[in-house]
Amino acid sequence: MSREIDEIFRRAKEGRPLFVNRDALSPDFVPPRLPFRDPQTRAVAQTLAPILRGAKPSNLLLYGKTGTGKTAVTNYVLERLKTEANNPSLVLAYVNTRLADGEYRTLADFARFLDLSKGKQIPLTGLAIGEVVDRIFENIRTNKKKVVLVLDEIDYLVKLFGDDILYAFTRSGNKLAPGFLAIVGISNDLKFKEGLDPRVLSSMSEEELVFPPYTVDELREILKERAGAAFRPSVASAAAINLCAAMAGSEHGDARRAIDLLRIAGEVAEREGLGEIDEACIKQASAKMEVDRVDEAIRSLPVQTKAILYAVSRFDGGTNTGELYLAYSTLCKRLGIETLTQRRLSGILGDLDLLGLVEASVVSKGRRGRTKKIQLLISKDTLTKTLSEDVAFEAAT
């Protein structure tokens, strides 16, 4: 027995952790260099550089799908600019409008970079938006501040709250002199421009820059560098890195997804006491990410949309609009929630289709017209499990 225990302990001692620096694969890590983004890095730097001699940079819009390096490149350039711009009247502000979640908080976050919120000049709530904007402008003008404001995930702000703030910012020219305010907007929604007032659009997009999706080859190089910093040597083999790049890249070209996949695969390997990441670890990590993605998508849906999704899941081989509407109406009664019209239901089905949770395709029934063929694209078990956590669904699940 004692020999057996010795053996267990010996193996435990030998099983060293696979990670040397887990942070190198964390979402917020800014790597020391950003391969394949030299043109974009150079262009952002060139656009913002005039601020170093006190001149107003052009406004700039950065576009590109998720995980294409927009935030990373911008932060990289901002960090470098900060070390050059050691002058208190030069202000480099960064606000993520999705995290700020609201016009007021976006402005309040911005104001912190202007040292305005000290002395309670911008309380956390209570002022009218126009008043907050006025105070910000006043601060910039009287202190002759030269300001670059980065608004990351700007599409979120515009979609939910409109473009009033952007209108005020882009029309502020003379009100701020001798100070100024230049805006860098970042969006992963290419349609976001359609929601803007044409005057806002023309001044926001004095310069535009597109971030293309990464190719599988590029993702492989990016992963190789990040893996080198994160793992002990020989933990992430070339084959493992290739597979992660191929699985994350073939569809999306998304570096965040590739990096997440490698990190989670590493955690799986570590838990299983393996010395390196093998194919099974990566497959397992990918399945876990898919479950998490679906889980997250379902969780954030409004209750009506959840109800429709749940009704769809009651039909194993798919269904049509009429049948679904009946099931949905019955469910609403059981849950004690309002029943939307069939027309609204069709609209929401379209949203669920875009999210990849449901397939709602129009099929022709010959002379009898057309109907929608509706099918659940995710696992029924995952859906039921996630919905059962919502108190509104207790009566259903």
Binding site for Mg ion (CB under 5 A): 71
- H helices present in 272-368, as ranges: 279-299, 303-313, 321-335, 342-354
Residue 172's binding partner among ligand ATP, Mg ion, none (Cβ under 5 to 8 angstroms by kind) is: none
Q: Which is nearer to ligand ATP, 72 or 148 (CB)?
A: 72
In the complex, least distance from residue 143 CB atom to Mg ion, rounded to whole angstroms: 30
56 CB-near residues (< 8 Å, 6+ apart): 50, 146, 180, 182
Q: Which is nearer to Mg ion, 240 or 255 (CB)?
A: 255
Does 36 sit near ligand ATP (CB under 6 A)?
yes
Mapping DSSP to helix (H, G, I), strand (E, B) and coil, where does residue 96 land? strand
Nearest to 142 by CA among 107, 167, 115: 115
In the complex, least distance from residue 90 CB atom to ligand ATP, rounded to whole angstroms: 24
- Token pair recorded at residue 309: 């999704």
Residue 68's binding partner among ligand ATP, Mg ion, none (Cβ under 5 to 8 angstroms by kind) is: ligand ATP
Does 188 sit near ligand ATP (CB under 6 A)?
yes
Do residues 132 and 122 touch, judged by C-beta distance below 8 A?
A: yes
In the complex, least distance from residue 64 CB atom to ligand ATP, rounded to whole angstroms: 6
Q: Which range touches ligand ATP (CB under 6 A), out of 34-42, 240-248, 344-352, 358-366?
A: 34-42
Q: Which is nearer to ligand ATP, 150 or 340 (CB)?
A: 150
How many Cα atoms are found within 13 Å in the side-chain-facing hemisphere of 58?
15
Q: Which range touches ligand ATP (CB under 6 A), out of 9-17, 25-33, 231-239, 339-347?
A: 25-33
Rounded CA separation 319/193 (Å):
36
Does 27 sit near ligand ATP (CB under 6 A)?
yes
Do residues 153 and 96 touch, judged by C-beta distance below 8 A?
A: yes
- The one among 66, 117, 205, 339 contacting ligand ATP by CB under 6 A: 66
Residue 384's binding partner among Mg ion, ligand ATP, none (Cβ under 5 to 8 angstroms by kind) is: none
Question: What do you get for the CA distance between the two ends of the chain, in Å?
Answer: 50
Q: Which is nearer to ligand ATP, 116 or 223 (CB)?
A: 223
In the complex, least distance from residue 297 CB atom to ligand ATP, rounded to whole angstroms: 15
Site size for ligand ATP, by CB under 6 A? 20
Do residues 358 and 309 touch, judged by C-beta distance below 8 A?
A: yes
Residue 27's binding partner among Mg ion, ligand ATP, none (Cβ under 5 to 8 angstroms by kind) is: ligand ATP
- The one among 47, 57, 69, 245 contacting ligand ATP by CB under 6 A: 69
Does 34 sit near ligand ATP (CB under 6 A)?
yes
Rounded CA separation 381/379 (Å):
5
Q: Which range touches ligand ATP (CB under 6 A), out of 30-38, 83-91, 102-110, 333-341?
A: 30-38
Does 256 sit near ligand ATP (CB under 6 A)?
yes
How many C-beta atoms lie closer than 10 Å to residue 78's C-beta?
A: 19
Does 68 sit near ligand ATP (CB under 6 A)?
yes
Residue 31's binding partner among ligand ATP, Mg ion, none (Cβ under 5 to 8 angstroms by kind) is: ligand ATP
Does 97 sit near ligand ATP (CB under 6 A)?
no
How many C-beta atoms lie closer than 10 Å to residue 239's C-beta?
A: 13
Nearest to 32 by CA among 65, 85, 67, 80: 80
Does 249 sit near ligand ATP (CB under 6 A)?
no
In the complex, least distance from residue 30 CB atom to ligand ATP, rounded to whole angstroms: 6
Do residues 10 and 45 touch, judged by C-beta distance below 8 A?
A: no
Residue 36's binding partner among Mg ion, ligand ATP, none (Cβ under 5 to 8 angstroms by kind) is: ligand ATP
- Token pair recorded at residue 91: 């202000």
Distances (CA, A) of 355 to 295, 314, 321, 360: 12, 19, 19, 11
284-343 positions binding ligand ATP, by CB under 6 A: none
Does 224 sit near ligand ATP (CB under 6 A)?
no
In the complex, least distance from residue 203 CB atom to ligand ATP, rounded to whole angstroms: 23
Rounded CA separation 330/320 (Å):
16
Rounded CA separation 307/187 (Å):
31
Rounded CA separation 210/152 (Å):
15
- CA angle 84-85-88, nearest 5°? 150
Which residues in this chain contact ligand ATP in the complex, by CB under 6 A?
Answer: 27, 29, 31, 34-37, 64, 66-72, 188, 222, 255-256, 259
